[in-house]
Structure 1
């Protein structure tokens, strides 16, 4: 015999309140609806469950047995409601952010400061990630928002993840401050650096693939002296005078012994995106923070970032 949990809970409420009308009020339904439910339950069980009298209603032995289980269901229902309310409250305040280093240094601080002023009770956390870790972490539910970078084509987001363009981050040439081209003005053409020694991003990275295509289009094969995965390391090496490097403008630092110049070539850049869940209904701070990131990105783009 398959019993309806709602009918068991109804019997528990009748036992607790002592009348069909009071049980109906507790459920937010009419007394007639409760009467119909009791009748259905008695037909299903094949036994009387409720005694009606001038002083209210009481349960038969069969009704009392089922009501004992109904009380468990009623308690579990209340606990489920309380637990869900608590969870939704936590989610409404939670924001778990991941970002690669340059974004964490330039984009996040102004946006986080603004968010803290607007949502003082926000539960924030930030972790360092590489760009290739961002979308999988959002897809897995480990992050609520990830700031990532991509060269050439935007990455294809996995199911239930959405990409939001933030800004275009152009590449610039970083030179030792005693380099013959360091004191020049105006954009540099890559071909002017055909004889230079280069510090590059390691082979296999999308940034390196873009660099190789650009130098090939400029008509030369670069003489690569050092390879690194870090723009900070590249700038530090340039500061020693060993070579020149292409670095994204957002990643520029005040590295002693270096200067930077803009590039004449168009298309040498990376694009920054925010990756979020496609549905942010339960985490409203994601949308609030995304708007702030767009504001910061707009300010950086219009001001010719970076500022030190």
Structure 2
């Protein structure tokens, strides 16, 4: 397992993250097996959100591992807040953030979070309120570090103007079949769809400002439209290319999909949302594979992208 240091923190973390969005599909014993598998593979970072299973996923997680201080000190826990269900609205108010964290800590059976992320941008955000909430959480020891998810550079800058400590994470959708963070830069000034800048150069912004990127849905295309791996109808050339490279490295296609992301010099973490222990192991094999430059571009082009 490859490990990275998250800038502006004391956290040394695996470049693989176990995502817990789907834990409600498992029994407590099944969840324990999955979490134990992650730990055995070297994963020490676990991602949650207060809306996953309406909070049930966090409860299953802590019950499955019988959370205690000894276990807690060996893992990095991250959760997200800012989405209100069942209303389906975003809420970055001070009260909502503080109440959300209290619920998260109670469900995870822990006194603190290593990292808290704001889940999706709230257009009604008052950054002064967010700053007050973050300062209170940090001073009380309930949250060590803070970050965002699905935020563009200007939204981050607006928050950072008021928050007295550095934001350290931006969690973004990224996979071989979802590459807007790369596409516009590689085809700059061309009159083609790929050249449209859809994310305000967020990849470069995060690198310039020492925000670690976490890639969610690393095997998906579109917005939860399914996995591109094994989809020979829509991605025949991509699967053929990935399978050929997987054979070379004696791993599965899942490992190569992971290795393609981790090959990028931004030190991107990969959020693995699988509930299958075998597939989790397969994905972890991609943690340390260093694809060649030629292989990386071969895969990128096989996904239907243009390299001018």
Where is the strand percentage greater, Structure 1 or Structure 2? 1
Shorter-chain TM band:
under 0.3
Where is the helix percentage greater, Structure 1 or Structure 2? 1
Question: Of the two, which has the highest radius of gyration?
Answer: 1
The normalised TM-score by structure 2 is 0.23
The normalised TM-score by structure 1 is 0.23
